[in-house]
Amino acid sequence: MSTSPTGFTVSSAWLAEHLNDPGLSVIDGSWYLPAQGRDAKAEYDAGHIPRAVFFDHDVVVEPGSPLPHTMPSPLIFATFAGSMGISRDDTIVVYDGPGFFSAPRVWWMFRTMGAKKVYVLEGGIDGWKKEGRLVTRQPTKVASCLFEVDFDASRVASFDEMRAIVEGGGRQIADARPAGRFAGRDPEPRAGVRGGHMPGAHNVPAISLSRDGRLLPPDELKQAFAEAGVDLDKPVVTSCGSGVTAAVVALALETLGHRDTKLYDGSWTEWGGRTDTPVVKDEA
């Protein structure tokens, strides 16, 4: 594909120009919390970017996991990706509604499974529509293919790893949840999950890393991490509620050249949902 994008994002103008290119896969990776009042699949059916296939965050998971968004095994992920007609060698563009909410999770999953050319659409479909660009209700025709997995386990942190990090340090924890939930002042959206955060964690709200559906410029990203107490020269593990918006922080870190980043897949739903894990609440 000519004029390949740089970094990890593409503009709506770039995508519009390249929509008919061979080897391009477009993914609607929208997912929302109940409080956001949006239905991702209904919005996709009502009008999506041409060529886009729908990625269901609640379906592309490890079967039988008690957690909501557990990364599937490489074999299961490959089956899902292949059924969507996506090859590891494709240029993959992922979007969500506002731009940087759930799309980075899909970006992270495909990169973790070996795809190299994966990008997030700046502005999301909200921006795409605002610019008057074409959407369609027509189902995307899909030809199943083989997705050859090259799984990078170093990008994923398990519960046992997180317990070791909390107990012994060695890796900074960047929590992407809103400040109220991080502090334990606001309730968690999932029943039975305690409020607060892991000892030693830094709060880097995912929403603070973008503006108008676009990732902040590098100097502002650096400032955001510095204000949160995150040293960009040291290893980081990202976390959030269920592993979705933690990928926003991971994408921001990698955009700044940080290459020792893990994502805690179980995130706060796992940690805060247990009774044998330490939890810190900030004083009001």
Beta carbons within 8 Å of 280's beta carbon, 6+ residues apart:
184, 196, 197, 198, 199, 201
CB atoms under 10 Å from CB of 45, counted, come to 12
Could you tell me which residues are beta bridge partners of residue 264?
157
Separation of alpha carbons 141 and 13, rounded Å: 23
Query: Active site includes 145?
Result: no
In the structure encoding, which two tokens stand for residue 104, read together? 């980075």
**Amino acid letter at 158?**
S
Q: How many CA atoms lie within 13 A of 19 on its CB side?
A: 16
Beta carbons within 8 Å of 104's beta carbon, 6+ residues apart:
94, 120, 245, 247, 248, 250, 251
Catalytic, out of 109, 240, 244, 246: 240
Catalytic residue positions, numbered = 240
